[in-house]
């Protein structure tokens, strides 16, 4: 029997949470809130470990002395990711006040801290702050290739496997129950209406941003590589469709490779850039995270200025390096920054997770399609270098 995917589980959890809020007694609602309290504290404790476990080996695996082509590919992927986040922020800042309207004030007036509370909570302080974890991960990742032998690299990769296992076997299975509890509380306290209405508008707008960002990326790559951008984009569509089903950049690599070659990228260039970009090039993921985070920041009165979000986007582009090949991996890697840089509490993070996973496959599809554009540019640069 085929297992139910995470996205259907999240949708069912949201629907059940809203439905059950109409007849669940207060004591039962508080029981689920108790689970949410413990789970959110566990996430807070786990996030620094997650950052170290993902970022350090991801940077270490880039290696040393891989040549200019590696550096060029990494920089192109990073700037593409950051520009997508900036584009998302700028677009949302201009459009949200018009499409959300009263929904922003309705969301901002929500108070989910007093009416219902958990029976108890279990404090789980993190052993290191998010910022310290990031710095430590950078140091480990950059220094590991300089060490003699592969012992340290193997250790980091083993630690990443542990972190990935915790995500896939503990956190991901618990997410539907966690989301259920969040929407159960919203419904019980009468907040669910404005949230659902606003989120539906946000989803539609983000999809338009995805399409616009991909077209812009291929136009740029077409100009750089002297290729027809629209023909290249159409050629990459099988990778897009495949990623919609797998929700994994890594699982889509074979199709992305094949389509990149069909788009005119030399096989040796595609074999290098596509697997690398599958772990470091996430423009549509950061586009989604920025768009949803900005809506929450705007409605809750949190800092939403350009400088704050530029710093968030730039750091997010690094923390999502080698995000695990499980649904929601990118948002898991970004939770620490949402808390430390944007001031999101546990409920806001829960809303972020729900919204992100609801659109997860579309973000992944956009990411892998964009990998083809990066491959075209790198192949053009490689040809210029070879000529010289």
What DSSP line would sit under 52-71, residue for residue? Answer: HHHHHHHHHTT-SS--HHHH
Range list of H helices, 21-150: 26-60, 68-99, 102-108, 130-143
In whole angstroms, what is the distance from residue 126 CA to residue 140 CA?
Answer: 19
Q: What percent of the chain has pLDDT over 90?
A: 20
DSSP state of 249: T
1 within some domain: no
Q: State both tokens at 75.
A: 């920089």
The predicted pLDDT at position 232 comes to 92
| 90, 212 contact by CB (below 8 A) | no
Residue 210 tokens read as 């995805």
Q: Other C-beta atoms within 10 Å of 269: how many? A: 21
pLDDT tens string 211-270:
999 999 999 999 988 889 999 999 998 888 878 766 667 667 778 888 898 898 888 788
> In terms of pLDDT, which residue wins out, 332 or 265?
265
pLDDT of residue 212: 94
Apex 207 CA angle, 206 and 210, nearest 5: 90
Give residue for tokens 């890594």.
Answer: 250
- Identify the CA nearest to 376 among candidates 277, 256, 266: 266
Segment 31-60 mean pLDDT: 82
Model confidence over 102-136: pLDDT tens digits?
655 555 555 444 467 788 888 888 788 776 887 78
Residue 354 lies in a domain: yes
The pLDDT, as a whole number, for residue 257 is: 84
Return contacts of 359-362, CB within 8 angstroms, 24+ apart: 359/203, 359/206, 359/207, 359/288, 360/6, 360/7, 360/247, 360/327, 360/328, 361/7, 361/243, 361/244, 361/245, 361/246, 361/247, 361/327, 362/207, 362/210, 362/244, 362/284
Which of 162, 199, 202, 160 is closest to 183 using CA atoms? 199
The pLDDT of 162-177, averaged and rounded, is 83
CA distance 63 to 54: 15
**Position 224 in a domain:** yes
Mean pLDDT on 83-97 = 93
> What CATH number is associated with residue 189?
1.10.3860
pLDDT for position 276: 77
Measured torsion, CA atoms of residues 301, 305, 308, 313, in degrees rounded to the nearest 10: 100
pLDDT of 75 > 60? The answer is: yes
Q: Which residue has the tokens 């018009």?
A: 98
Distance CA 312, CA 305 (A): 11
pLDDT over 50 at 151, yes or no: yes
Q: Is residue 118 part of a domain?
A: yes
**Dist. CA 39–CA 55, nearest whole Å:** 23
- For residue 28, tell me if it sits in a domain: yes
Question: Which stretches of 306-345 are DSSP H helices?
Answer: 306-319, 329-340
* In-domain check, residue 31: yes
Which among 279, 284, 291 is positioned nearest to 250, based on CA atoms? 279
Give the count of domains, the chain: 1
The C-alpha atoms of residue 249 and residue 40 are separated, in whole angstroms, by 27
pLDDT value at residue 294: 92
Which tokens belong to 315? 């750091």
- Evaluate whether 282 touches 269 at the Cβ level (below 8 Å): no
Q: Residue 357: in which H helix or E strand, if any?
A: helix 346-358
Confirm whether 253 is domain-assigned: yes
pLDDT tens-digit profile of 171-209?
Answer: 878 888 888 888 888 777 766 666 677 777 888 899 999
For residue 232, what are the domain limits? 6-387
224 compared with 385, residue with greater pLDDT: 224
Radius of gyration of the chain (CA): 21
How many Cβ atoms are within 10 Å of 82's Cβ, its own excluded? 19
């Amino acid at each position: 029997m085929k297992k139910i995917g995470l996205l259907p589980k999240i949708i069912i959890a949201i629907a059940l949470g809203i439905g059950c809020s109409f007849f669940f007694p207060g004591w039962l609602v508080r029981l689920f809130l108790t689970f949410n309290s413990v789970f959110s504290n566990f996430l807070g404790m786990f996030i620094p470990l997650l950052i170290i476990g993902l970022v350090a080996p991801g940077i270490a695996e880039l290696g040393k002395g891989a040549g200019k082509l590696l550096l060029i590919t990494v920089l192109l992927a990073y700037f593409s990711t950051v520009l997508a986040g900036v584009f998302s922020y700028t677009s949302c800042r201009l459009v949200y006040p018009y499409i959300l309207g009263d929904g922003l004030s309705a969301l901002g007036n929500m108070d989910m801290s007093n009416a219902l509370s958990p029976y108890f909570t279990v404090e789980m302080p993190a052993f290191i702050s998010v910022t310290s974890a990031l710095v430590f991960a950078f140091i480990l990742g950059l220094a590991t290739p300089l060490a003699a032998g592969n012992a340290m690299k193997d250790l980091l990769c083993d630690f990443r496997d542990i972190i990935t296992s915790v995500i896939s076997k503990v956190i991901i299975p618990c997410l539907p129950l966690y989301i259920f509890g969040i929407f159960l509380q919203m419904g019980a306290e009468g907040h669910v209406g404005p949230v659902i209405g606003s989120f539906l508008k946000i989803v539609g707008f983000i999809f338009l941003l995805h399409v616009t960002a991909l077209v812009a990326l291929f136009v740029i790559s077409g100009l750089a590589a002297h290729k027809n951008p629209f023909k290249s984009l159409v050629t990459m569509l099988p990778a897009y469709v495949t990623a919609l089903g797998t929700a994994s950049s890594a699982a889509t690599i074979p199709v992305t490779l094949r389509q990149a070659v069909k788009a005119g990228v030399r096989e040796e260039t595609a074999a290098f850039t596509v697997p690398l970009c599958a772990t470091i090039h996430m423009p549509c993921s950061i586009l989604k995270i920025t768009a949803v985070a900005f809506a929450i920041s705007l409605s809750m009165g949190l800092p939403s200025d350009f400088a704050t979000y530029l710093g968030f986007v730039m750091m997010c582009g690094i923390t999502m390096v080698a995000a695990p090949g499980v649904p929601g991996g990118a948002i898991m890697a970004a939770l620490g920054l949402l808390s430390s840089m944007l001031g999101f509490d546990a409920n806001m993070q829960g809303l972020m997770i729900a919204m992100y996973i609801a659109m997860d496959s579309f973000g992944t599809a956009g990411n892998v399609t964009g990998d083809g554009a990066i491959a075209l540019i790198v192949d053009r640069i490689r040809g210029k270098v070879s000529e010289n």
